[in-house]
Amino acid sequence: MVGSASRTDARTIPLADAATGDRELVRFARAERLVHRLVAVLMVTSIGTAAVLYNGFLAVPVGHRHIVKLIHVGVGFALPLPLLAGALSAAYRADLGRLNRFAPQDWHWLRSRSRRDGTIRVGKFNAGQKLNAALSAGGIAVLFATGTVMYFPGLARLSWRTGATFVHDWFALAVGLLVLGHVSYALRDHEARRGMRTGRVAIEWARRHHTAWVAEAEAVLTPPSPPGGGPPAAARPPGPDR
């Protein structure tokens, strides 16, 4: 969805995103990290079993095709579950709102050749991460739907099942390439991986890559000045990691 990110950022920033010290920011809540790990395990298992099922040079040494197929179907049907269960977390829902909005600077970021030099103010997620999230979610939905038609032949006529097989195969290849790209970018950025592993990132890294997000987090922590010009009220402490 295209819209203004600025109108919702202030109210969707959970206190878990506020600075925890002079050197670090909390980037991901515990629930978000758990969803990412579960989806990663299910996705890698799905891709691995698909590779065995569709490639003879792998199928022959692995064997046990029926078991591999059952594992593939099981993880395929389970793949959307962590994404849906994550909605119980307020931090997860807030980040979904961020990922679901393209601001003018996101289009600028995509067009710019110097998108990573820090001159473009980027929120918590850059445009590439937003596109990756949208394509991944869409790909999972299509694979789930076509896989359901393939696994339950009584749901649709033969022409639909044939079309579902064709779409499923090509989307599987596309999602596999998308995952490889995602992993390749992650391997180049140690701090981004630490953020997903521990939930925290160095504030210097955040200022280089996500300037607007740092400004939002600092605004949450900055207490309003009371009337009369007195000293500011004490900042609210960060909320629990949900």
For residue range 69-79, what is the model confidence (pLDDT) as tens digits? 999 999 999 99
- Measured from the Cβ of residue 79, the count of other Cβ atoms closer than 10 Å reads 21
- The average pLDDT across 20-32 equals 82
Of 31-35, 56-60, 154-158, 223-227, which gets the smallest average pLDDT?
Answer: 223-227
Look at residue 133 and tell me whether its pLDDT is greater than 50. Answer: yes
Q: From CA 191, how far away is CA 197, in angstroms rounded?
A: 10
Question: For a pLDDT cut of 90, what percent of the chain falls above it?
Answer: 56
pLDDT at 57: 81
Instruction: Give the amino acid at 73.
Output: V
87: CB partners within 8 A, 6+ apart: 93, 96
Work out whether the CA dihedral 117, 120, 122, 127 comes out positive or negative: negative
Which of 190, 219, 195 is CA-nearest to residue 33? 195
Q: Reduced to 3 states, what is the DSSP secondary structure of residue 140?
A: helix
* Residue 226 confidence class, pLDDT cut points 50, 70, 90: low
Look at residue 11 and tell me whether its pLDDT is greater than 70. Answer: no
Q: Which two tokens stand for residue 172?
A: 């599987």
Q: Could you tell me the domains of the chain?
A: 21-102+122-220 (1.20.950.20)
**Rounded to two decimals, what is the model's pTM?**
0.78
DSSP 8-state assignment for residue 57: H
DSSP 8-state assignment for residue 19: B
Of 43-57, 74-88, 103-117, 122-136, which gets the smallest average pLDDT?
Answer: 103-117
